[in-house]
A = this chain, B = another copy of it.
Amino acid sequence: MKRRYYLEDVALDDARARFEQALSDAGWQAPMAAERVPLSDSHNRITAAPVWARLSSPHYHAAAMDGIAVRAVNTVGATEVNPQRLVVGEQAVWVDTGDPMPPDTDAVIMAEYVQTVDEQVVQIMAAVTPWHHVRSLGEDIVATELIVPENHRLRAVDVGALAAAGHVDVVVHCRPRVVILPTGTELVRPEDVSDIQPGRIIEFNSLMLQGYIQEWGGTVTRKPPLPDRRETLRDAVQQVLSDHDIVVINAGSSAGSEDYTASVLSELGKVVVHGVAIRPGHPVILAVVDGKPVLGLPGYPVSTILTADLFLRPLVYRLQGQTPPHRPKLPAMMSRKLLSPTGEDEFVRVTLGNVDQRTIATPLTRGAGIVMSLVRADGLVQIPRFSEGVHAGAEVEVELLRDTTEITNTIVTIGSHDLALDLLASHLRRFDPDTRLVSANVGSLGGLLALKRGDTHLAGAHLLDEETGEYNRPFIKRLLPDEEVVLINLAYRDQGLIVVSGNPQNLGSLADLTRTDVRFVNRQKGSGTRILLDYHLKQQAIDPEQVTGYLHEEFTHMSVGAAVLSGVATVGMGILAAARALKLEFIPLFKERYDLVILRRHWESQLLDPLRRSLEDPAFHESVAALGGYDVSDMGREM
């Protein structure tokens, strides 16, 4: 029953061409059939045919003012000194705006310029030209003229114009019906998260796909996850085919032992491509079953979304007679070196920010399993198939996933991460909902170096100088001697020991780390936490060589926590938030100062206004204090 599929390595353009050819060979038709919908449901739908005006607008000569309708020739010679008298009912007819012009009249004189002599006679002070204050028949729309062409997305104004032109409904392409079949015995519906167990994974890809497909104009059926059984998958595909235009199978497309998608699809139809030279998303399957496209999208969320973007999005648009809209592109400077495997087109997610008139692109993690890299991404950089990568400082072209104004309104922070920074990112939107704060976590020293390169507006730092016992300032003097730098306190935070719940080893001080039953997990050299540890070890005359595990380095608070949780270590040093996230126990030992390091010209800039206001806002102080483990007494103060 199990067959092992070996993945191909088809170039992206080639894969697209083969899929297109196979669909065309199978008699696939795009755009789809048309349907007639009432105008009130037609907004954002795509016309299947040009629409011509049935009715002119106005459909009669209409008075454009309240006043009297006249024949212009009867007004010739009227002046203030020589007013002209007109007989009401014969030469002048009272009309309101929108009234049809009475027979044999061709102009309107505004009520304000008409003097009533008596019921039968009015007097005018000036002559008028023909068609004065008259909306002539067809002035807006001429019956038979083109209102909208075919394959046109109906905007709100178009819908109005169609109604004005005498239409009640409009013929549009049917919406492509896409069905999503998540597969994987380990998958749990998001609704059932409450009793999730290790080994079970929340099925959230179909939620993302649903949103995208709806944006593209399709309708979506989300099926509950299928177990990894060959027959179940085969039956499910057969069952959904008749009622849908595109089938998406999510996961099961790799060459693993429980990956049946390719085998099932080649039984039911034709697998055109299995394996495309892209990263992420390599194991994607492009198949045709019963003349319909069936896509097997790899299961890691970033792979799912990228392959959907490359192969599903064009299909959904084509079925509506459209090509996908082009995303705007922007040149940017890559802040870090990026090595890329040759042989694959790689799509790298980046964040973007404008610092000192340059747009800086910072690559996000490239792991295909990291959905937060999609959440944080501002753009995509494509590293072509035969390139080895990009140098730091090189210009790259970024396909934008956000508006350029969003990029312009971005405060960039690179450095040590802290939960209070997340809170700040959220809080400052109360003062300006258009401002974003995006942060990249590279540690305190990394942040100062980014500041030196001009890659960031601010850097979060908690660097203790071992010699002076002073925070941050000595490092700034060394690294940024020529810049006018402002140090703004965000908070003091507790650093302490992280141990498993119940503190079974009964640890309470640094001295305990030298016990032989204790296995420590350390942070990497250069990190603020490591420096703090080393400072206090020295103060307390504890030899690091006596600490088992001192050389076991992790790069984040969370990795330290995870090492403790998994039993690799029995204790680590870090902040309360990491312990709490993993339901570990925290023993506070020291307070450390966490500052925001900012060039003065940025600190005083308009962009940072909502940040400055947040730091002054008592509500923000309270919410950080409420996190626990924070002392906000100096928040916002220049240090």
Chain A residues packing against B (C-beta within 8 Å):
38-40, 43, 50, 53, 55-62, 64, 66, 96-101, 103-104, 106, 130, 135-152, 155-161, 163-164, 166-168, 184, 186, 190-191, 193, 196, 198-199, 201-202, 204-205, 207-212, 214-215, 222, 254, 256-258, 301, 305, 321-323, 325-326, 328, 367, 369-372, 374-375, 403-405, 419, 422-423, 425-426, 429-430, 433-434, 558-559, 561-562, 565-568, 577-578, 580-582
Contact of A208 among B148, B156, B367, B375 (CB under 8 A): B156
CA distance A64 to B372 in the complex (A): 18
Q: Which chain B residue lies CB-closest to A434?
A: B323
Q: Which residues of B contact A568 (CB under 8 A)?
A: 106, 130
A169 to chain B, nearest CB (A): 9
Is the Cβ of B139 less than 8 Å from the Cβ of A199? no
Tell me whether A422 and B145 are in contact in the complex, defined as CB-CB below 8 angstroms, given that A140-B372, A198-B59, A434-B323 are known contacts: yes
Q: Other CB < 8 Å A-B pairs besides A137-B558, A157-B371, A325-B405, 4 of them? A: A144-B581, A160-B371, A160-B374, A163-B190
Cβ–Cβ contact B164 & A301, under 8 A:
yes
**Shortest beta-carbon distance from A327 to chain B in Å:** 9
CA distance A143 to B580 in the complex (A): 8
> Assuming A59-B196, A151-B433, A321-B433, is B257 touching A369 (CB within 8 A)?
no
**B-chain residues with CB within 8 Å of residue A403 when the two chains form the complex:** 325-326, 328
A-B contact pairs, 11 of them (CB 8 A): A104-B567, A136-B559, A138-B558, A139-B370, A141-B371, A143-B582, A149-B426, A151-B433, A156-B215, A325-B405, A326-B405
Kindly identify which residue among B136, B429, B562 contacts A149, using a CB–CB cutoff of 8 Å.
Answer: B429
**Does B98 contact A208, Cβ atoms closer than 8 Å?**
no
* 8 tightest A-B CB contacts, nearest first: A156-B211, A146-B422, A149-B426, A163-B204, A160-B208, A50-B426, A60-B198, A100-B198
B430–A567 CB distance below 8 A: no
Copies of this protein chain in the complex: 2
| A207 near B256: Cβ-Cβ < 8 Å | no
Q: Are A157 and B305 interface neighbours, CB within 8 A? A: yes
A425, B146: Cβ atoms under 8 Å? Answer: yes
- Whether A208 lies near B157 (C-beta < 8 A) is yes
CB-based contact A199/B98 at 8 Å: yes
Q: With a CB–CB cut-off of 8 A, which chain B residues contact A567?
A: 103-104
Residues of B within 8 Å of A40, CB to CB, are 207, 210, 222
B166 lies within 8 A of A566 (CB): no
The answer to whether A99 touches B163 (Cβ under 8 A) is no
Assembly CA distance A104 to B625 (angstroms): 38
A241 to B329, CA, bound (A): 46
- Most chain-B Cβ atoms within 10 A of its Cβ — which of A57, A205, A372? A372
Given contacts A57-B371, A370-B139, A433-B321, contact A163 B422 (CB under 8 A): no
Q: How far is the CA of A499 from the CA of B558 in the complex (A)?
A: 86
Task: Report whether A212 and B156 are in contact in the complex, using a CB–CB cutoff of 8 Å.
Answer: yes
- A305 to B193 CA separation, bound complex (whole angstroms): 46
Complex: A568 Cα to B131 Cα, angstroms: 11
Contacts of A196 in B (CB 8 A): 55, 59, 166
Query: A428 — nearest CB in chain B belongs to which residue?
Result: B149
For A210, the chain B residues whose CB sits under 8 A away are 40, 43, 156
| A292 nearest CB across to chain B (Å) | 22
Q: Are B426 and A207 closer than 8 Å at their CB atoms?
A: no
Docked complex Cα distance between A369 and B63 (Å): 12
Q: With a 10 A CB-CB cut-off, give which of A106, A149, A257, A328 has the most chain B CB atoms.
A: A149
A581 touching B142 by the CB < 8 A rule?
Answer: yes
Given A100-B199, A204-B160, A581-B138, verify A328-B57 contact (CB < 8 Å).
no
- Which residues of B lie under 8 Å from residue A305 when comparing CB positions? 157
CB pair B581 A56 closer than 8 Å: yes
Cα distance, A556 to B369, chains bound together (Å): 63
Residue of B nearest to A565 (CB): B137
Q: Is the CB of B56 within 8 A of A371?
A: no
Shortest C-beta distance, A611 to chain B (Å), equals 13
Contacts A40-B207, A325-B403, A433-B322 given; indicate if A140 touches B370 (C-beta within 8 A): yes
Name the CB-closest residue of B to A65: B256
Q: Is the CB of B211 within 8 A of A159?
A: yes
A210 to B581, CA, bound (A): 45
Chain B residue contacts of A429, Cβ below 8 A: 149-152, 321
